[in-house]
Structure 1
Amino acid sequence: MSRPQDPDVEDRGTAPGLRLHQASCHCGAVRFRFLSHIEEVVQCNCSYCVRKAALHHRIDARHFELLAGARALNLYRFGTLRATHFFCRLCGTHTHCHPRSAPAQINVNVRCVEDVHLWLATVRVRDHDGRAWALDTA
């Protein structure tokens, strides 16, 4: 991904209307950005997502850039060990994951996005029955 300066920049290589979102963990050690048009987020009820309380938004991995904190990231896997969940080892914030259903994509935790409180109420929240899905695909 290029290094655009304008927060409303469009990625000319993909669909128009993508916005650049800046995000970080709670302590700021892990910082990342991604291009996306966020209309919907997913709330999963699997055993892990319920505990971490993340709101997921899936993006193409090409639109994600880790800016800082690679050494601060820890990885967690469970169940089939195919999904990779990343969190800051300093503050514990879940930042993103590579879902097992789409390993070439990234689910970002939109609760990490700067100024999320200003627009989150305008976004559709879709429930995902990850608890049942995990049992069906185990």
Structure 2
Amino acid sequence: MANETKHSGGCHCGTVRFEVTLSDGLNSASRCTCSYCSMRGAVAVTAPLGGIRFMQGEDALTLYQFNTRTAKHYFCRVCGIYTYHQRRSNPNELGVNVACLDGISPFDFEKIIVNNGVSHPSDDPDAPAIAGVLQFVRR
């Protein structure tokens, strides 16, 4: 891909460390309105399914699944931080928590696309894909 970028990252306590290749750099940053993502509140960027390589702590990750059990959400079992997930909308993609990427904050993004997870495309192909835009205004 033209805008592939590599980033190092990890969880809050440092138990999990990884390197990830993002499919379109930070351009894919988004959030989701599904019941789970709404509570989690993370901004995620896209990586291909095989795009993450663990330097340490892969065995410290805990899996959470719900509803259709298609999406796989991974957390550090030590500090509880969500690191990444395998997407329901495209199981060949990962969503990686931008807050886990070294030197990157969710507050670095002025605007974030919010995907419509309430009316998931797998459940309602006619529903709009975008629910809205989340904007961060610095004061």
Which residue number in structure 2 is paired with residue 10 of structure 1? Answer: none
Question: Looking at both structures, which has the greater relative contact order when contacts are Cα pairs under 8 Å and sequence separation is at least 6?
Answer: 1
Which shows bigger deviation, 30-39 or 87-96? 30-39
- Cα distance in 2 between the residues matched to 1:88 and 1:38: 23
Q: For the aligned residues, what is the CA RMSD? A: 2.2
- Cα distance in 1 between the residues matched to 2:106 and 2:73: 26
3-state DSSP of counterpart to 2:29: strand
Which residue number in structure 1 is paired with residue 21 of structure 2? Answer: 35
- Cα distance in 2 between the residues matched to 1:17 and 1:80: 32
3-state DSSP of counterpart to 2:14: coil
1:21-100, aligned counterparts within 5 Å?
21-36=7-22, 37-100=25-88
Q: Runs in 1 of length 4+ with deviation above 3 angstroms?
A: 134-137
Alpha-carbon displacement from aligned partner over 1:1-45 (angstroms, at most 9, x marks no partner):
xxxxxxxxxxxxxx3443221111110111111122111311112
Which residue number in structure 1 is paired with residue 136 of structure 2? Answer: none
Which residue number in structure 1 is paired with residue 93 of structure 2? Answer: 105
1:135 deviates by 8.9
Which shows bigger deviation, 72-81 or 16-25? 16-25
Provide TM-score, normalisation by structure 2. 0.77
Q: Which runs of 5+ in 2 are unaligned?
A: 125-139
The percentage of aligned residue pairs carrying the same residue is 31
- Cα distance in 2 between the residues matched to 1:79 and 1:24: 27
Aligned residues: 122
- Structure with more of its chain in strand, by fraction: 2
Provide TM-score, normalisation by structure 1. 0.78
- Cα distance in 1 between the residues matched to 2:50 and 2:123: 30
Which residue number in structure 1 is paired with residue 112 of structure 2? Answer: 125
Q: Which runs of 5+ in 1 are unaligned?
A: 1-14
Amino acid at match of 1:93: I
1:117 deviates by 3.3
